[in-house]
Amino acid sequence: MRDQALLRNATLDLERYKRLTKGNFISLQQVDTQESLVQQHRGSVKIDEAQVESARLNLDYCRITAPASGRVGLRQVDLGNYTQPGDATGLAVLTQLQPITVVFPLAEDNVPRVMRQIGEGKRLAVIAYDRSGRRKLAEGMLATVDNQVDPTTGTVKLKASFANRDHALFPNQFVNIRLIVETIKDAVVIPASGVQYGPKGAFAYVVSQDGTAIPTAIEVGPTEGENAVILSGLAARTRIVVAGADRLRSGARVRAVEE
């Protein structure tokens, strides 16, 4: 405020001097000197404004503002401990929970199918289950795919993003991930134990009308748990052998056992 008052006074004197020069009452040297004095006071005001902004910035640095919302962990220091900006542990660890990401491996043989869907612009759904694989925790979307295969495991890392609105997922939690790559509609599904493999490929023992087992070549699609999708070779509602197939031969009689 002092420097601003000096600037106002010097500006008013300059205006008076300029009016007096019109009647040759003062010399031009006095006017030039007064103009220089006005510029000096203006510079002083600018310096003051910069110092005020610097003080405001220092006040902002006195507060720690989180870059994102999340959960703060247990404090790393106690009251009275000496801390400085270079400490590796810091004061506390902030973990973002909403959204949260899950990193999971995918076998390299399945990568082309996933990349084909991504190349077509499709967003792939991802479901997270608990450790037992029975309880569904959250649903999300595939976010990104790593750019190389891990030679030690033969897998590629994928990352999925979850909104996690109910906080069902927790940092470093172990989960089972199910990635939905594509949906096969009106597919024939049989128990995976009914699929047999021989020199000519996959086949299944079909039970004929007279109760004999007939080996039938099939094309096996995706397998999930105890179920396998049959792309060709079997029609819907066809009876097949799912137990004791190792003791069968073509034309052998079979007997259904009710469980």
The CATH code of the domain that includes 55 is: 1.10.287
- Total structural domains in the chain? 3
Residues 123 and 140 in one domain: yes
Residues 172 and 216 in one domain: no
> Residue 258 — pLDDT band, cuts 50, 70, 90?
low
Give just the sign of the alpha carbon dihedral 228, 232, 236, 240: negative
Residues 236 and 206 in one domain: yes
Is residue 133 a part of any domain in this protein?
yes
Q: What is the mean pLDDT of residues 31-35?
A: 88
Residues 173 and 225 in one domain: no
Residues 45 and 100 in one domain: no
Q: What is the mean pLDDT of residues 114-125?
A: 91
Determine the structural domain holding residue 205 and report its residue range.
188-247
Residues 170 and 240 in one domain: no
212: which DSSP letter?
B
Is residue 256 a part of any domain in this protein?
no
Is residue 257 a part of any domain in this protein?
no
Is residue 73 a part of any domain in this protein?
no
**CA–CA distance, 59 with 64 (Å, rounded to integer):** 11
Is residue 54 a part of any domain in this protein?
yes
Percent above pLDDT 70 for the chain: 99
Is residue 155 a part of any domain in this protein?
yes
Q: Between these two residues, 232 and 140, which has the higher pLDDT value?
A: 140
DSSP SS3 for 213: strand
Is residue 159 a part of any domain in this protein?
yes
Domain end (from 127, 160, 180): 180
Residues 173 and 243 in one domain: no
Supply the pLDDT for residue 53.
94
Supply the pLDDT for residue 259.
60
Is residue 83 a part of any domain in this protein?
no
Q: Give pLDDT tens digits for 179-233.
A: 988 888 888 888 888 888 888 888 888 888 877 888 888 888 888 778 888 888 8
Percent above pLDDT 90 for the chain: 38
Nearest to 243 by CA among 188, 211, 195: 195
Structural element, H or E, at residue 215: strand 213-217
Instruction: Report the CATH number that the domain containing residue 116 is assigned in CATH.
Output: 2.40.30.170
Q: Between these two residues, 227 and 159, which has the higher pLDDT value?
A: 159
Residues 197 and 143 in one domain: no
> Residue 148 — pLDDT band, cuts 50, 70, 90?
very high
Q: Give pLDDT tens digits for 62-112.
A: 887 888 888 888 888 888 888 887 888 888 888 889 899 999 999 998 899
**Lookup: tokens for 111:** 């990568």
